[in-house]
A and B are shown apart, each in its own frame.
Chain A
Amino acid sequence: MKLNVMVVDDSAVMRAMVKKSLSLCGIELGEVVEAANGVEALEKLASSWVDLALIDVNMPKMNGEELLNHIREDEATVPLNVIVISTEGSETRISRLKSKGARFLRKPFSPENLGNQIREMLGETHGDGSGNQALPVSGPDF
């Protein structure tokens, strides 16, 4: 199953790096959508099907934590799989993000790290007996 991914980061270079890592991490990719901040991400989420969002924390206009709050408050996006990719070093903030159902990947990261996080998340999604909440990963059949 191809995975539609949204990459949200204000740095064009970091978006390119994440996309490069995605292409190397062994995940079958569908469409990759980019957004430069939380506001842009919400707009694109409203118009395209995304299975997984990879979001930065520090961004202008709407940061990653605010974006995650919006995602979890909207019925249409609440089940979205989210991995926060950030330099964030505060366990306090990381715990807060995880409590909202996001996984966390610290920069710098390798494609292997990213692939493992995604595979673990999909494993949870498909019900691996871990007891974690099942989240849908696929949109409607086209």
Chain B
Amino acid sequence: MAMDLETKLYQSAARTFEEVCFLLTLREPGPELPAASEREIGVRIGFDGVFHGALEITCPASIAEHLANSMLGGDKPTAQQRQDAFGEISNVITGNLLPSIAGDKLVFDVTAPATLEGQQPLPWGPSARVRLRSDEGPIDLVLYIEDYDLGARS
């Protein structure tokens, strides 16, 4: 059942990266925790509805730069623009992921993307974890859902 959740996470993320910024990704099997050197930029988005949790996405700065370039074009993006672009992509992934898990009738409140730096670790273990490989480097997605009965909804 957890594999199903990971497939949904992968599909939501891969589709978003491809459609928004033409970044083609492949799913890596059995992802390990990302190395610190690969986690240069990270965001967390919380959600609250029929279940409660968060999605964390991390990647190297080069990917965030690619995303910002694709979204904005023009000059070299600033650090803030890179973070904003990555946050917005994460927001789109979350928005596509939640209805794929819970159906499209339920309403979720989603928090604004927040930088992972300096945040407390979440009190729950990961419900799904996916690593995407792209030409620009790895992208790691970790989904946390509190007290979620995965079996009942798959």
A60 CB contacts on chain B under 8 angstroms? 112
B105 at the A/B interface (Cβ < 8 Å)? yes
Q: Does B116 contact A (CB under 8 A)?
A: no
**Which of A20, A86, A89, A106 interacts with B98 by CB under 8 Å?**
A89
Could you say which residues of chain A place their CB within 8 Å of the CB of B96? Answer: 87, 89
Interface size on B, residues (CB 8 A): 29
What are the residues of chain A within 8 A of B106 when measuring CB–CB? 90, 92
CB of B25 closer than 8 Å to a CB of A: no
Q: Is the CB of A20 within 8 A of B73?
A: yes
Chain A residues near B73: list those with CB within 8 A.
20
Stretch touching chain B among A11-19, A46-54, A127-135: A11-19
Q: 1/0 per residue B49-75: CB within 8 Å of A?
A: 000000000000000000010011100
Q: Do the beta carbons of A13 and B110 come within 8 Å of each other?
A: no
Known pairs A10-B112, A58-B110; A89 contacts B104 (CB<8 A): yes
Cβ of A13 and Cβ of B81 under 8 Å apart? yes
- Chain A residue numbers with a CB within 8 Å of B110 are 58, 87
**Nearest Cβ on chain B to A61's Cβ, whole angstroms:** 11
Quick check: is B84 within 8 A (CB to CB) of the other chain?
yes
A32 to chain B minimum Cβ distance, whole angstroms, is: 15
Which of B73-109 touch A at CB < 8 Å? 73, 81, 84-85, 87-88, 91-92, 94-96, 98-100, 104-109
Interface centre among A16, A60, A106 (most CB of B within 10 A): A16
CB contact between A17 and one of B72, B94, B95, B107 (< 8 Å): that residue: B72
22 contacts between A and B (CB under 8 A): A10-B112, A11-B87, A11-B91, A12-B84, A13-B71, A13-B81, A13-B84, A13-B85, A16-B71, A58-B91, A60-B112, A87-B92, A87-B94, A87-B96, A89-B95, A89-B96, A89-B99, A90-B108, A91-B104, A92-B105, A93-B107, A107-B91
17 more A-B residue pairs beyond the given contacts A12-B84, A89-B104, A92-B106, with a C-beta to C-beta distance below 8 A: A11-B87, A11-B91, A13-B81, A13-B88, A17-B71, A17-B72, A20-B72, A87-B91, A87-B94, A87-B95, A87-B110, A89-B98, A89-B99, A90-B99, A93-B107, A107-B20, A108-B16
